[in-house]
């Protein structure tokens, strides 16, 4: 696995002039899901979560704009290795392969071996819980 990396909002502001980091945490959490990858439904869910997070931060217009940019970017044939879906895996999981229950301990171990100061313990806990929920939904 590759260590988790974030570039925050990938060329988009992380907040307003008054609060320059207002929704930065939303982008970091979205980058965690891009690092882990998974099936197409997991990708759509990650994109909906960033929309909801930015909206909840008080920027509904920005949330819509960001969501559209993310969804359109996903359609681009040009993919940067460090920014594509499933970029944490060295075995090419950017092809929307569903995660397996055995993948979660690997993700957790890699992150704990190479933690990011941008990811709070609460954020990482939510991330793991979301992956577990996604796995349960995939099995139904």
Q: How far apart are CA 50 and CA 75, in angstroms?
A: 18
What residues contact residue 92 under an 8 Å CB cut-off, 6+ apart?
86
pLDDT of residue 101: 93
- In whole angstroms, give the CA distance from residue 106 to residue 98: 14
- 128: tokens are 């793991």
For the cut 90, the answer to whether the pLDDT of residue 76 exceeds it is no
Q: What is the 3-state secondary structure (H, E, C) of 21-51?
A: CCCHHHHHHHHHHHHHCCCHHHHHHHHHHHH
Residue 58 clears pLDDT 90, i.e. is over it: yes
DSSP code, position 77: S
- pLDDT exceeds 80 at position 74: no
Q: Would you say 4 and 32 are in contact if contact means Cβ atoms under 8 Å apart?
A: yes
Q: How confident is the model at residue 36 (pLDDT cuts 50, 70, 90)?
A: very high
User: 80-139: per-residue pLDDT in tens?
Assistant: 667 889 999 998 777 889 999 999 999 999 999 999 999 999 999 999 999 999 888 877
Q: Model's pTM, two decimal places? A: 0.92
Q: What is the mean predicted confidence (pLDDT) over 20-35?
A: 97
Q: What's the pLDDT score for residue 140?
A: 64
Residue 38 has pLDDT above 70, yes or no: yes
Q: Percentage of the chain surpassing pLDDT 90?
A: 79
78 confidence band (pLDDT: 50, 70, 90):
low
- Buried/exposed 104-125: b ≥16 CB within 10 Å, e otherwise: eeebeebbeeeebebbeeeebe
pLDDT, position 73: 82
CA 91 to chain centre: 18
């Amino acid at each position: 696995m590759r260590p988790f990396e974030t570039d925050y909002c990938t060329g988009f502001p992380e907040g307003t002039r008054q609060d320059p980091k207002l929704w930065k945490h939303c982008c970091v959490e979205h980058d965690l899901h891009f690092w882990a990858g998974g099936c197409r439904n997991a990708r759509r869910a990650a994109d909906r979560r960033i929309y909801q997070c930015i909206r909840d931060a008080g920027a509904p217009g920005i949330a819509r704009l960001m969501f559209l940019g993310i969804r359109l970017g996903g359609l681009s044939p040009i993919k940067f290795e460090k920014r594509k879906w499933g970029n944490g895996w060295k075995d090419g999981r950017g092809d929307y392969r569903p995660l397996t229950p055995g993948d979660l301990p690997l993700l957790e171990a890699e992150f704990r071996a190479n933690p990011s100061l941008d990811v709070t313990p609460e954020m990482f806990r939510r991330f793991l819980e979301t992956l577990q929920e996604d796995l349960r939904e995939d099995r139904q």
